[in-house]
Amino acid sequence: MSSGRLTGRSALVTGAGSGIGAATAEVFAREGARVVVADLDKAGAAATVERIRDEGGVAEPYAADVSDEAEVEALVDFTARTFGGVDVLQNYASNRGVVAEDVALAGADASAWARQLGVDLMGCVFTAKYALPHMLRRGGGSITNASSLVGWLPLESRPAYATAKAGVIGLSRSIAVEYGRQGIRCNVVAPGPIVSPGTEGMYTAEQTEVLAEHMAAPRLGRPDDVALAALFLASPDAAFINGHVLVVDGGMSAYAPMVPSFRRLAREE
């Protein structure tokens, strides 16, 4: 049920054509925000907007590549012109097209690294760069950037992704420190494994079982789990929270790494 926590706010959500970004845009619209749904996938953005409008929400689609500074400037300008300003910025755009190329560092491909950092890190830089002046003119605003548990607990592969997500944390805290006294809050959501259309093909059935073993929860995460955490950070309820990393991982990072092995041994006895 909506409590109207974002009523009257203008929100820009990137990567909102699917997954966590789409869930966040939909939750924000239910809470009263007017939302620009941005995604490189024009059809995905339009589908999210259609779902929002079907529920009586207000949203507009916009196709943009967040790694392109000129496109981001136009996107933020569109948001401000359409809804009278920018109050809330949510960054979820991520380049999943380089997963196969993001290999062990000795075989690193410079182009793959540039494309990963270009979307996941520089996308956050560019959107904040152009949204901040609008927020400052309105006396403040809220930015939430998506990192990942991988940002400080890397996998055996995907070093470019881990580096980008670690960079998002440093960037977000820098924004919080630099602009916090001017009414800007910048926080981070760091999801663990999330089951969504964008991630279903990334794990085999065996890998999914391994992920489940590492949960201090009865299930894997869903996009709404992250969207509701992001709603809290964007809302007045989090007015005194700035520069914070909110981990949404079902407790995966809460315990010693040998715990799943101990559980397995106990089952075998």
Partners of 14 in the beta sheet?
Answer: 38, 91
In a domain, 118, yes or no: yes
C-alpha closest to that of 246 among 182, 173, 191: 191
Does residue 161 have an active-site annotation? yes
Full DSSP string of 243-254: S-EEEESTTTTS
Closest by Cα among 59, 122, 134 to 93: 122
Handedness of CA 16, 17, 23, 28 (dihedral sign): positive
Residue 5 counted as domain residue: no
Q: What is the CATH number of the domain that holds 16?
A: 3.40.50.720
Estimate the crossing angle of helix 159-179 against helix 110-120, to 10 degrees: 40
| Catalytic residue selected from 161, 179, 203, 255 | 161
Give the integer Cα–Cα distance in Å for 186 and 245. Answer: 10
**pLDDT value, residue 201:** 65
Within a domain: residue 42?
A: yes
Q: How far apart are CA 241 and CA 20, in angstroms?
A: 22
| Angle value at C-alpha 6, between 8 and 24, nearest 5 degrees | 125
Q: What is the pLDDT of residues 228-245, one digit of tens each?
A: 999 999 999 999 999 999
3, part of any domain: no
- The predicted-structure confidence for 172-223, as pLDDT tens digits, reads as follows 999 999 999 999 999 999 999 888 766 666 677 887 788 788 788 888 899 9
Domain count, the chain: 1
Q: Is residue 22 part of a domain?
A: yes
